[in-house]
Structure 1
Amino acid sequence: MSEPGPRAAWWRIMDLRLGMVPVPVAIVGVAVTAAFVWLGAPPSDILMNIVVLAVGGFFCAEIGKRTPGLKNLGLAAILATFLPSYLVYAHLLPGSLVKSITAFTDNSNFLYLFIAAIIVGSILGMDRRVLIAGFVKIFVPLAIGSVVACAVGCAVGTALGLGLSHTFFKVVAPIMAGGVGEGAIPLTIGYANFSHQPQGELFAQVLPAVMLGSLTAILFAGALNAVGKRYPHLTGEGRLQPGEQDDEPFATPDAERAPVTPADVGAALVMAVTLYLVGALAQKLWNWPGPVVMLALAVLMKFGHVASPRLERGAFANFQFFSQAVTYPLLFAIGAAKTPWEKLIGAFNLPTLTTIVVTVATLMGTGFVVARFVRLYPIDAAIVNACHSGQGGTGDVAILTAGNRMQLMPFAQIATRIGGAIMVTLTLVLFARLGAGG
């Protein structure tokens, strides 16, 4: 019985964590990755990238969480996204490893697996009685915030010498267009068609506004999370409305509170992925936004009692797993594969930077104020509005992570997808009518 001394000491070492990764495992993982890089071609499969992204993502997050003064402002999410972007730019990450991460991120649909699990799990874990009211109410601060942010952002940009046309079409509208793939790309394709300018040049002009707008929203979301800790009456800590609570499957006694089984979790994950595929098919056939279709189907399932309590518990367990274990690795992948550092720093001039910050602050501030009139929590509504200025689905993940409110993902997707689509449509109509090219 005297044997457990050294063994207990070793177990304590094994229980030291880098995020969720045991430190000895992280050390071995780094060594193995370095060996693959030395051999010339790290695999781009899921096995290699689980190790690389987990170690990289949680390492960046731990730096952010341990930085005095800034750890409560979303620095973990910022570093997990933008530090790998800089490392790629500075050639501090081996090129072969970057290719592996990029190939895996592009080919695996990693991001949409995450979003499917988060959306379906959070909706099925919501209070059914207030779900529909929340979806209706969130359009009020979102719509009013968008209009006010456009007006204030254009006024500031024009006053600083950017010109009204440039400010709206190249700075303000791209911020709220829904990210890169769903926003900046269709926006600049439309600009190119109407103005006969090269789409690539136009895309390079609007991309910094998209990225810096998302970064600003991440910072403000982190700050609002800190405000919520100090003034708890302003926030539902991830719940949008007063009185919202967990639904029956998580509150009922006896058999309904039985532990979630691996079979329940697996069944719920297949269900979430199937809903995503239905959305993807709708996008292919009728050009309906796939994530919005998935979201609507999940809401209908919740509202119509389609999923059993076991499936709902399994879906909620998936939500908890993905939000805690997958977020920072995903952000690391996004930073390394989809966030060009040179584009981010391309807009670092005072007039553009000021216009971006003022636009995002107005969007969130208006949401904060208007929320009180429709009985929503001000901080949570403001963070949903922040997602309207995010970098698409990737921005939603980073903003909600910084604000510690991943439960708001369904509402964030409304802000990003529906709000972004409306912004792109109205902007292109205005661009065509004005013949804007500058």
Structure 2
Amino acid sequence: MALWWKLMDLRLGIVPVPVAVIIAGLVAAFVSLGQVPADLPMGIAVLALGGFACAEIGERIPGLRTLGLPAILATFLPSWLVYAGWLPKPLTEAVGRFTDQSNILYLFIASIIVGSILGLDRRVLIQGFLKIIVPIAAGSLAALAVGCAVGVALGLGFSHTLFKIVVPIMAGGVGEGAIPLSVGYAQLSHMPQGGYFAEVLPSVMFGSLTAIVLAGGLNFLGKRAPQLTGEGRLQPGEVDAPLSGAAPAGGKLSDVRTIGAALVMVVTLYLLGALTQKLWDWPGPVVMLGLAVAIKLGRIASPALEAGAYANYRFFRANVTYPLLFAIGAAKTPWEKLIAAFTVPTLATIVATVATLVGTGFAVARLVGLYPIEAAIVNACHSGQGGTGDVAILTAANRMQLMPFAQIATRIAGAITVTLALIAFARFGP
């Protein structure tokens, strides 16, 4: 019995190895029947096994695991497996339906945002939000200049480089960036939207991949030069008992009912954001972020609820991140679109743009009292694939608590980028 217990305690991430074998057998049986359910139980089983198996491979490659390889493999390996036909079609269709219908991505982001904000030191919360604007703005301008210069030097042309490569990288992902850009380009030029979308999507996806790799490198740098990082804290003096791992006020850990209450509060804030987006077209995640900040500053949530929200944050961070990345890779990341960017001039331009964005954030951080590595990681999210990119980038950097600031870089800075780009395209575009 002791031997069997040892075997049950041997895990792929959080999945016991014997359970993983059973899940694989069950999935094979459902695939053979051609009827893979797209419900919650099957989604949990498939994504947990797939996500943690990919992450485990990345964790066991010496030297590369600190560069974000687990997050990279959890995202892009399933994308390649779908492209190569190694993941059966009934399985990938079920994963896609589950991902879309369950809205698991937004539940994850909501839990991370609310939990991390309610755990921040309110004395420096507003300072952090105001200060992070400086490296984001400086990085955007520098990336625009360098990216266009590299593209022109490599023969891509200024207009193509600006509107098809550099702007899409910083536009906020696919749904909030690539799609509005392509629709705007099509309306202004009276050309088909599909053609523009196919042109800008590879830049969004490979820019996000570049940001993931750089975020992993920044995490590695932080371990070698601890004076450059707050280990997830954006600025010096940011003190937070829950996020540092200590018990909340009163010395007691959250009970399960309090965690449940905090989860209901998180879902309510998400739904408020979703409603404002439908009524007034305000970005739902940004509204949710603002509400969470107001709750923290106004002391609306009790210390127990704040601790419960933090416990919920920890649960999602530890147990849902890699399964979610697997779902994103299998259902939301078409491999053929990614490899479409594999020309030397385009790749060089994308890498130069993202590296400049990240490097500028690193360089100017000290000027406004931020840790260079954290500021650079937030800037990396400005070149991410929307919310999915934020998750992958912050996972690679092992700094998921920066999600509120990442949302500023992705949503707000991305919306500003799209708006200015369409204005410029109307006047100077082809």
What TM-score results when the alignment is normalised by the length of structure 1? Answer: 0.97
Return the alpha-carbon distance in structure 1 between the equivalents of residues 223 and 71 of structure 2: 18
Give the fraction of aligned pairs with identical amino acids, expressed as a percent: 70
Q: Are positions 1:416 and 2:377 aligned together?
A: no
Return the alpha-carbon distance in structure 2 between the equivalents of residues 247 and 294 of structure 1: 23
2:198 aligned residue (199, 204, 209)? 204
Look up the equivalent residue of 2:44 and give its one-letter code.
I
Q: 1:80 is matched with which residue?
A: 74
- Preserved CA contact (<8 Å) 1:73 1:223: yes
Residue 178 of structure 1 aligns to a residue in which SS? coil
Return the alpha-carbon distance in structure 2 between the equivalents of residues 225 and 182 of structure 1: 28
Q: 1:145 is matched with which residue?
A: 139
Look up the equivalent residue of 1:81 and give its one-letter code.
T
Return the alpha-carbon distance in structure 2 between the equivalents of residues 67 and 251 of structure 1: 28
Q: Are positions 1:104 and 2:98 aligned together?
A: yes
- The 5 Å alignment of 1:111-260 reads 111-246=105-240, 256-260=250-254
- Preserved CA contact (<8 Å) 2:201 2:337: yes
Q: 1:428 is matched with which residue?
A: 422
Return the alpha-carbon distance in structure 2 between the equivalents of residues 251 and 214 of structure 1: 30
Look up the equivalent residue of 1:173 and give its one-letter code.
V
- Preserved CA contact (<8 Å) 2:249 2:303: no
Q: Are positions 1:404 and 2:398 aligned together?
A: yes
- Preserved CA contact (<8 Å) 1:249 1:257: no
1:294 aligned residue (273, 288, 299)? 288
Q: Are positions 1:55 and 2:49 aligned together?
A: yes
Q: 1:40 is matched with which residue?
A: 34
Deviation at 1:196, TM superposition (A): 1.1
Instruction: Rate the CA distance shift 1:141–1:304 in 2: closer, same or farther, 3 A.
Output: same
Residue 257 of structure 1 aligns to a residue in which SS? coil
Return the alpha-carbon distance in structure 2 between the equivalents of residues 347 and 182 of structure 1: 20
- Preserved CA contact (<8 Å) 2:164 2:203: yes
Q: 2:307 is matched with which residue?
A: 313
Residue 320 of structure 2 aligns to a residue in which SS? helix
Look up the equivalent residue of 1:387 and give its one-letter code.
C
Q: 1:3 is matched with which residue?
A: none
Return the alpha-carbon distance in structure 1 between the equivalents of residues 399 and 243 of structure 2: 21
Deviation at 1:314, TM superposition (A): 0.4
Instruction: Rate the CA distance shift 1:314–1:115 in 2: closer, same or farther, 3 A.
Output: same
Return the alpha-carbon distance in structure 2 between the equivalents of residues 153 and 137 of structure 1: 25
What TM-score results when the alignment is normalised by the length of structure 2? Answer: 0.98
Deviation at 1:319, TM superposition (A): 0.5
Return the alpha-carbon distance in structure 1 between the equivalents of residues 250 and 32 of structure 2: 53
Deviation at 1:252, TM superposition (A): 9.4
- Preserved CA contact (<8 Å) 1:249 1:256: no
- The 5 Å alignment of 1:336-375 reads 336-375=330-369
- Preserved CA contact (<8 Å) 2:262 2:312: yes
Instruction: Rate the CA distance shift 1:164–1:285 in 2: closer, same or farther, 3 A.
Output: same
Deviation at 1:40, TM superposition (A): 1.2
Q: Are positions 1:27 and 2:53 aligned together?
A: no
Deviation at 1:248, TM superposition (A): 8.3
Instruction: Rate the CA distance shift 1:184–1:99 in 2: closer, same or farther, 3 A.
Output: same
Return the alpha-carbon distance in structure 1 between the equivalents of residues 41 and 374 of structure 2: 36
Deviation at 1:69, TM superposition (A): 2.1
Return the alpha-carbon distance in structure 2 between the equivalents of residues 147 and 160 of structure 1: 20
Return the alpha-carbon distance in structure 1 between the equivalents of residues 27 and 15 of structure 2: 15
1:328 aligned residue (304, 315, 322)? 322
Deviation at 1:253, TM superposition (A): 8.5
- The 5 Å alignment of 1:273-288 reads 273-288=267-282
- The alignment's C-alpha RMSD in Å is 1.3
Deviation at 1:259, TM superposition (A): 2.0
1:76-102: CA deviation from partner (whole Å, max 9, x where unpaired):
000000000000001100000001000
Return the alpha-carbon distance in structure 2 between the equivalents of residues 91 and 201 of structure 1: 26
Count of matched residue pairs: 430
Instruction: Rate the CA distance shift 1:254–1:317 in 2: closer, same or farther, 3 A.
Output: closer
Look up the equivalent residue of 1:119 and give its one-letter code.
I
Look up the equivalent residue of 2:20 and give its one-letter code.
A
Question: Any stretches of 5+ residues in structure 2 without a counterpart?
Answer: none
Return the alpha-carbon distance in structure 1 between the equivalents of residues 336 and 228 of structure 2: 38
Return the alpha-carbon distance in structure 1 between the equivalents of residues 259 and 276 of structure 2: 26
- Preserved CA contact (<8 Å) 1:118 1:323: yes
